A and B are shown apart, each in its own frame.
Chain A
Amino acid sequence: MKSLNFKKIILFSILIIVAFAQLFPLYWLITFSLKSNIEIFGENVIGLPQNWRWINYKTALSDGGILRYFLNSVLYSGVTVLVTGIVSSMAAYAIARMKWKLKDYVFGIFVLGIMIPTQAALLPLFQLLEKLGLKGGYLGLLIPYISFGIPMSVMILTGFYKGIPKEIEEAAYIDGSGIFRCFGSIILPIIKPAIATASIFTFLGSWNELMFANTLVDSSNYRTLPVGIMSFAGQYSTDWGLIGAGMVIATLPTILVYFLLSNQVQESLVAGAVKG
């Protein structure tokens, strides 16, 4: 019995050590975003700020242009989540329910899209968007984000559709509803949780994306938050508090979404991984 307790204590210590390791860098980030360099660089390295310098946040938002990047990122992520959700829920319905010969192949193509490192498509995509005259504007980044978000959403949604009993739709069709009406007023409300799940994936992917945003956008007017913070960090490289504030601003929305929907987020990862 004694050895059993001993083992329990060791396992519990591991849990706590890992939790500390996961949280400490973030604690450090949040506290130094509210400090002056004097505190960060020696006087008060790991304690709570002595003077809470909220001005770091004000300066980052106004002088650093972070507000503009933030709004751009909201727009990119918002539109991406909306459009990806709509087209994926339709395609997944066609794959899960409709009767046509090529559906397994089409599904296979989407699934392959999850496995393949999409960065390999970057150069031809760059050229294509340039030819279409879209590169550099909002659409020039929205279209890739939507296209690259589709496979994961289709996969999650197809799995959910297959779990819904067919009787519900049958009743609607017998009542004489058309396919669009049935889809809009019966199917979509049922799969709402699945759409929420897929949307979280799409949101995290587009909000945090770096490579495409860095390559496909030149003008700072259309820049996303991650790219904006990166150039901001280079510009103010000696003012850690200011950079920290920018980084916290970039992180807050994802943490907020995560805490509000943490059950849904956890489910979404599981849905994506275990079923895949």
Chain B
Amino acid sequence: MDRMLGKKRYVAIFVLPALLLFICFVVAPLIATGIYSLFEYDGIGTMKFLGIKNYVNLFTTDKYFPQALKNSLVLAGASICIQLPLSLLLAITLARGVKGEKFFRTVYFVPVVISSMVIGQLWMKMFNSQYGIINMAIRMFGDKDFEFSWLSTPSTAFISTVIPAVWQYVGYHMLIFYAGIKSIPGDYNEAAKIDGASKTQISLKITIPLLAPVIKTCLLFSLTGSLRAFDLIYVMTGGGPNHASEVPGTLMYSSLFRRGLYGYGSSQAFFIVIECLLFSYIINHIFKKAEQNASAI
């Protein structure tokens, strides 16, 4: 058996189809983006080497990039401070066993499987100034003539895209937390109960510390997901009005495919890559100790 599994020819036949596809159509293009980002390039003419000037320009001459970056960090903040705690609370409550546990789990997850195009269109309709369900509710309970255009007012446009983003993935994180909690051996809870710990104490002192690796995964997912956000914002506002709701993803898209700025747009794209790697590194570093504690218990 070992002889068979060690033959180079067999290894190649098994691994190369996937590896070649992945390298040619994912890894190589990513590297190309990194290289383009160091040049001035419009796709047709010659490429002029600029070094890191494109990256410097993102923060000095670009009118929209700093705001876009801020927006993506607001989205990340909302995900981490609202979505994750809510998901964790739901998961802990469900994992304790309540009536209709399976029903709730299934319902929370439904929005996750829906295309963000549909979610975006749907929430656009909900925010519609005349016929949207949100303004209709406000008219019903308060101001009868209320009319406000959430998505075409610069100060509310971006926040109006954050709400569905947070809404859509609550069930996703809930489920990951839930599975994490269920995989904790029951003995710990039993022992704590015998020692007279309350349910809240058990959650805070046992469940959450043991959940450190899972919390880390959820943090990574929601942080990198926010930094690379595109679909919902592209559908709902297109980055407008007057660029108020841009994120790096939408700016990159319009630089590359509307304005033909291949070099500059690539620096915006690659900035997102660097950002994601950096944040992943930081989170992994922060959680190193917590994870050691979790596995030591």
Contact = CB atoms under 8 A, between A and B. Distances in A.
Nearest to B198: A4
Contacts of B7: 179
A120 B22 contact: no
A25 interface: yes
Given A14-B90, A115-B224, A121-B33, A143 B2 contact: no
Interface string A41-61: 110011000000000000000
A102 B158 CA distance: 46
Interface in A129-171: 143-144, 146-148, 150-151, 154, 169-170
Interface string B123-158: 101100011010010000000000000000000000
A262 B122 contact: no
Given A117-B228, A120-B273, A123-B269, A26 B94 contact: no
B167 A21 contact: yes
Q: Which range holds the interface residue count of chain A?
A: 35 or more
A18 B170 contact: yes
A148 B218 CA distance: 21
B31 to A, nearest CB: 8
B233 to A, nearest CB: 11
A243 interface: yes
Contacts of B221: 273
A120 B224 CA distance: 13
A265 B110 contact: no
B89 A14 contact: yes
Interface residues of B, number: 96
Between B7, B11, B29, B257, the greatest number of chain A beta carbons within 10 A of the residue's beta carbon is seen for B29
Contacts, number: 261
Nearest to A259: B106
A120 B29 CA distance: 8
B110 A255 contact: yes
Given A22-B108, A266-B105, A247 B15 contact: no
Contact of B113 (A125, A147, A233, A265): A265
A117 B121 contact: no
Contacts of B10: 98, 179
A82 interface: no
Given A123-B262, A211-B253, A174 B180 contact: no
Interface string A7-47: 00001101100110111011011001000000011100110
B239 interface: no
Given A99-B6, A121-B26, A274 B111 contact: no
A211 to B, nearest CB: 6
| Dominant secondary structure of chain B at its interface with chain A | helix
Contacts of A146: 21
A46 B176 contact: no
Contact of A273 (B110, B217, B256, B269): B217
A233 B115 CA distance: 15
Interface of B: 1-2, 4-8, 10-11, 13-15, 17-19, 21-30, 32-33, 36, 43, 86, 89-90, 93-94, 98, 103-111, 113-118, 121-123, 125-126, 130-131, 133, 136, 167, 170-172, 175-176, 179-180, 183, 213-214, 217-218, 220-221, 224, 227-228, 230-231, 234-235, 249, 252-253, 256-257, 262, 265-266, 269-270, 272-273, 276-277, 280
5 contacts: A28-B122, A29-B122, A94-B15, A123-B36, A128-B24
Given A115-B224, A115-B277, 6 more contacts: A14-B89, A22-B170, A119-B269, A120-B252, A173-B4, A210-B116
| 5 residue pairs, one from A and one from B, having the closest CB atoms | A124-B32, A91-B18, A124-B29, A208-B115, A121-B29
